[in-house]
Structure 1
């Protein structure tokens, strides 16, 4: 009975990770369409949710990579899986709070590797798989995306040179909707499978299925639904950073960026690479700025994001390792329940912190002020709007120190200021 309870707890936590993956990564597909107003914010996230759901059924190659290519399934226990999932979820929520488009994939892999290292040491990690299937794609994918999107944007700019902007906006708006839809479909084929792989690991560890089992249909369906629901809620903080913080884009750049992202993600899914769709989408947006003559790329924002990417694996791994040590220190089912309770409490605390300065569909497209460079909590000292209601001023809170300088100054928003003041973002 205890083993069944622990297995159910791990499955629920894995679906929770899939949910956070959905809202954290919505911006990968729809940020540029929202920024250029090719789609209304609510319409964009709804469309993305449906296509993520469909995409989850199209391939299982990445699920196999996560389940059997990163850590030794023979040393995995249910407490280890739970600790790894907590590491991934906590890092996802922290980076979401600060509007950082970091990798949910790397947060999950980091959490699992950290928990395994704490449990059995280096022998439990399949380092060849980590390097070949995670680290190498992490280095190559953004560079490829920048190059492809940069070339595509440059070609589009050349072909449309001299064409009135209102004409190009109308024509490329439809193309942008199509390309954004393709990215959402590609995201479903890649990211939803990561939680499928983790649940398969848990089922194998719990003895529910044999070690050579494939992914059961109920796992595919539940993961697809969890990601779709998360996507529909919209990770507005991350959407804002991707859509407004890196480059001020038009519909031509948006279509080029999204098409590039879809091509790279689908190719990686075909080969079973546990690719970060966030890295690809960010690289494509940067490429659209590099390839467009006269466009301004905010490299300071990009630099902070790159640093956050570098610390994702070790940070999530540290949380996963600490959670496993806590489980071991308390012992038994009580230790596992304590870690789950810690996840619930920390998630609630992060959500409460996010309410200091909400970002939603009503203010996601407000002007970005690069010079302000304050965290979301610091900017809460100004008045803002959330959901159509005015938010009273609150004192600035110095939260950057809790997660480091890499995530301290991205994705800020403010509402219209008096005419003699600059409008912040």
Structure 2
């Protein structure tokens, strides 16, 4: 089929490349000329495992352009995969979604389906349908479909090619037939619902996982107080098939492009309908507090961080991605700098994005922030070490080197990723034990 995808971020680009892998001809559209030029040269603007390899393998079926009119005019299906960032009040910003929808409506010249993959509040597809009705040419029939994504950054390609389920929200039989044709090459359960249910499935899924993370973090905090080991507790819980072992890893909170934004958006939506989602509200509050857990632990060893050398291992919100959105490093490093610490940071992928972000924030003490290309350089002479991301290179680093290289070997592990115990010359603390 001839497809077009609006947006070349995590959702749009991964969707486009994976659909091309399944044999479809796909044109990727973006307003950012630099991103399109990168893509045309075979380079992905985002770091995602296997993505560039698939781009190269499907080069004949993938096209990249800023010319949305040529891309949408004759497409059988147009996917909308643009961002829906969080507003200050917690609601989703739908500006890019509506802009893309209007461009599509004004441009298409054949019957087609417009498929919304972006995460949007319940009822948004109906608004997209109204935009189509208001701006399309009269003789064209446009079916509006909700088709939420369930990919995780770091495993986005695998999650898209081998999904746990495919959810399709439609209001007519023809739209369902079109979507079954698109996904006939995928081996996964295909659930057909109405559009509002499909929109809700996305939010309900992400918010449930966020709840699970916040719950185990609260249990971890209590474990520290009563002398239990949260890793043993989580393992014991995970054997129960009703609970499962995934998302029971205690740490310093969730981040990324989905959980923080989607929990706040659903909480906002409920409040706008005079209803309070108490569990979701609690998850949001727990997560915000959890991000500062290592700072609080550090205060036990130093009353004042001024003048201390602090090593930071890991900047991204999780391994396998260069995404920094809602990463603990973005909260903690400014606090360390404002307290007068000298911060030495290491991340195998995330340094360029972090530097770009932090330099735009106006944080005090940026002259005291430096970056290093190895763990050895980062921890050498440090008074304390924070671990914010569980990259393999950090997990596999030999613990004896902390004692050997640090001025005072205090290691605070926010991801419970090291198999280390405190010993002579090394103080090791993690979350929940």
Q: Is this a same-fold pair by TM over 0.5?
A: no
Q: Which has the higher contact order (CA 8 A, sep 6+)?
A: 1
- Please indicate the TM-score interval, normalised by the length of the shorter structure: under 0.3
User: Which entry has the higher C-alpha Rg, 1 or 2?
Assistant: 2
Please identify which structure carries the higher strand content. Answer: 2
TM-score, normalised via structure 1 length: 0.28
TM-score, normalised on structure 2?
Answer: 0.27
